[in-house]
Amino acid sequence: MVNGLLPEPGVFAAFLGASFLLAATPGADMMLVLNRSLMFDRRAGLIALLGLVIGGVCHVLAAAFGLALLVSQFPILFAAIRIVGVLFLLYLAAKIFMSHLNSKRPLAKDLSKDNEAVRKVPPNPHHFRDALLTNLLNPKVALFILAFVPQFIAADTPNPAASFILLGIIFLAQGWVIMGMIALLAPRVRLLMTSKPGLLRYVDLATAGIFIMFAVKLLGDLVR
């Protein structure tokens, strides 16, 4: 399959099934896309998704060329990256909380009066930056890819690095498709939610809470 870069059909089917289940599991990336799509519009969600795509590709390439393995061999460097990741997640959570103190930002209660308010928000490069950094500053992504993907690469694969990159991209692409669907469908969900003006506020704050939970979990893993 694909000049020997993909495993045998049975193994490849197992890979697709396992990677789909993993991709469908909610995480910080998925919550970020959902938040941007609900609170702004589908463009904001897709811009955030683009940042996640580029971050994911960087992780796959880094893992393929051994950077993730190098990081795992130097605990101080690994810990430093994880600390930066924790701080950035806390920063995103704080930014969401602070946005509700800024009267210039359209809140959920305003949407029932003007459903166009959120859709008119222009594309913001911060959506891309936040998503990219959220992904890049999570070394677990690269280390997980490094641990998961090689299990499906045959020992006699002619080009292990190319096979690793191809399978890694396929693995991440399933998550990208799911998050893309979330971004496209979220505005419809938002319009339904405008009948309950305070609900979007709770969704936004819940997203911030989830980011804090992820940060606490990463910090807990760090101090073990």
The tens digit of pLDDT for each residue in 9-63 reads 888 888 888 888 778 777 778 888 888 888 788 888 999 999 999 999 998 988 8
The pLDDT, as a whole number, for residue 200 is: 64
- Tokens for 131? 């998503």
* Residues written for the chain: 224
For residues 98 and 188, give the distance between their C-alpha atoms in angstroms, rounded to a whole number.
26
DSSP 187: H
pLDDT in tens, 145-163: 877 787 787 767 777 788 8
Q: Is the pLDDT of residue 88 over 50?
A: yes
Cβ–Cβ under 8 Å, residues 29 and 182: no
Tell me the pLDDT band of 119, cut-offs 50, 70 and 90.
Answer: very low
Looking at the chain, the whole-number percentage of residues with pLDDT higher than 70 is: 72
Tally of CB atoms within 10 A around 3: 9
CA distances from 173 to 20, 46, 167, 170, 187 (A): 9, 14, 10, 5, 22
Q: Is the pLDDT of residue 172 over 80?
A: yes
For residues 224 and 98, give the distance between their C-alpha atoms in angstroms, rounded to a whole number.
32
Q: Which amino acid, residue 97?
A: F
The pLDDT, as a whole number, for residue 86 is: 81
Q: Which helix (H) or strand (E) holds 119?
A: helix 116-119
Q: What mean pLDDT is reported for the chain?
A: 76
pTM for the full predicted model = 0.70
Burial of 155 (0-12, 13-18, 19+ CB in 10 A): exposed
Q: Is the pLDDT of residue 111 over 50?
A: no
Pick from 202, 191, 170: which is nearest to 96 by CA? 202
Contacts of 23 (CB under 8 A, 6+ apart): 171, 172, 174, 175, 178
